[in-house]
Amino acid sequence: MTSPTPESYDAIILGAGGAGLMAAATAGQRGRRVLVIDHADEPGKKILISGGGRCNFTNVGAGPAHYLSANPHFAKSALGRYRPADFIEMVDRHSIAWHEKTLGQLFCDGSARQIVAMLLYECRQGDVTIRCSHDVRDVTHADGRFTVVHGDRVASAPALVIATGGPSIPKLGATRFSYEIARHFGLKLVDPRPALVPLTLGADEALFRELSGVAHDVVAKIGKTAFREAALFTHRGLSGPAILQISSFWRHGEDVGIDFLPDQPDGWFRDAKRSRPRAGARSVLGALLPDRLAEALAERLALAGEMANLSDKALQAAERRLADWRFRPNGTEGFAKAEVTVGGIATTELSSQTMEARKLPGLYAIGEAVDVTGWLGGYNFQWAWASGWAAGRAL
């Protein structure tokens, strides 16, 4: 049996997520004939479930400082050329209502489905062909063209874009395909690991596990990196925005520090003894913390009885611990629960202007597949849009 003659395109994009759709629309509207291939049954599945169904589609303050990468400078060019204001302009052009929640995070008023519909409309404006439910069976490169066998079809193009994301949340269709194909073409990887992920605790950290369901505003820190947001105690460990943020920086064997009372001034516990000598230490803590947390911490710190009976030294020591409570996670909840992946295709392999591979002209990598990972709060989509746009301009 002879294989079918390949359909000819200017660019083939693997992956119909945020990055792939943005690259496709941008290149298509520049007159390029673009094919997008995805194995999922519909495009943009992660967009659809993001932000609790309302998609935190960007962050007004997004800049290079909000990203982790082995090369922190790499993201500057793309983020500088396609800014949050550019995406907001597109959202406004499509009359999608949005609002700012906290910390510069922008969400749809209605549904994340509007963002996917907008991107698909932009793709149609560029005559982009999108094929979902197509497994990519083979990718080869010869004579300056990439040939992709997908389902029972074959297509070829002088440009191929890896936009198949990272391995976070396999049940949404995430795979390691980006890495396999990068390796196949000789591109190096930065070891991928789960990020924006709950941390788990062993039996020795029983304090936290007893508190399942309690949430409190804290500062979570590792070294000089600190995030002030809510932490949530779970039956397996810790979650909530502050913990998800710090998890991206955490490595096995490291301690995480929690400041339970970030608003209290130095010496506040001793001052409380002067102003409320007859109050119980537990009730002083209880005025500042959720009851169950106050009780558990007071017990751990052996703070029993009235404030007047506790020495200044003991109160000072307790205050120090409450400001930097150290614990050592025994792991994370892994890729099954990770919102993103830290690591991926090494940025040293790519042009920061175009996302094109230095070793193999015509090959591009964008979005979460690349070793650029944003904080929680709309930064990851901004990277998907910006890197997709940069490649789309170059295709």
Q: Using CB under 6 A, list all residues that contact ligand FDA.
A: 14-20, 38-40, 45-46, 49-51, 55-56, 136, 163-165, 168-169, 173-175, 177, 339-340, 367-369, 378-381, 384
Residue among 43 and 237 whose Cβ is closer to ligand FDA: 43
Residue among 384 and 394 whose Cβ is closer to ligand FDA: 384
Query: Which helix (DSSP H) or strand (DSSP E) does residue 272 occupy?
Result: helix 268-275
Q: Whole-number minimum distance, CB 55 to ligand FDA, in Å?
A: 6
Q: Whole-number minimum distance, CB 221 to ligand FDA, in Å?
A: 23
The most distant pair of C-alpha atoms in the chain lies apart, rounded to whole Å, by 91
Residue among 222 and 336 whose Cβ is closer to ligand FDA: 336
Q: Whole-number minimum distance, CB 256 to ligand FDA, in Å?
A: 22
Residue among 31 and 151 whose Cβ is closer to ligand FDA: 151
Q: Whole-number minimum distance, CB 194 to ligand FDA, in Å?
A: 11
Q: Whole-number minimum distance, CB 126 to ligand FDA, in Å?
A: 17
Query: Which helix (DSSP H) or strand (DSSP E) does residue 18 occupy?
Result: helix 18-29
Q: How far is CA 386 from CA 304, 318, 344, 381, in A?
A: 55, 47, 17, 8
Cα–Cα dist 150/135, whole Å:
5
Give the CB-side neighbour count of residue 327, counting CA atoms within 13 A: 26
Q: Which residues contact 287 (CB under 8 A, 6 or more apart)?
A: none
Burial class (CB in 10 A: 0-12, 13-18, 19+), 255: middle
Q: Which residues contact 248 (CB under 8 A, 6 or more apart)?
A: 68, 195, 196, 340, 342, 373, 375
Cα–Cα dist 364/2, whole Å:
30
Residue among 156 and 164 whose Cβ is closer to ligand FDA: 164
Residue among 21 and 301 whose Cβ is closer to ligand FDA: 21
Q: Whole-number minimum distance, CB 193 to ligand FDA, in Å?
A: 15
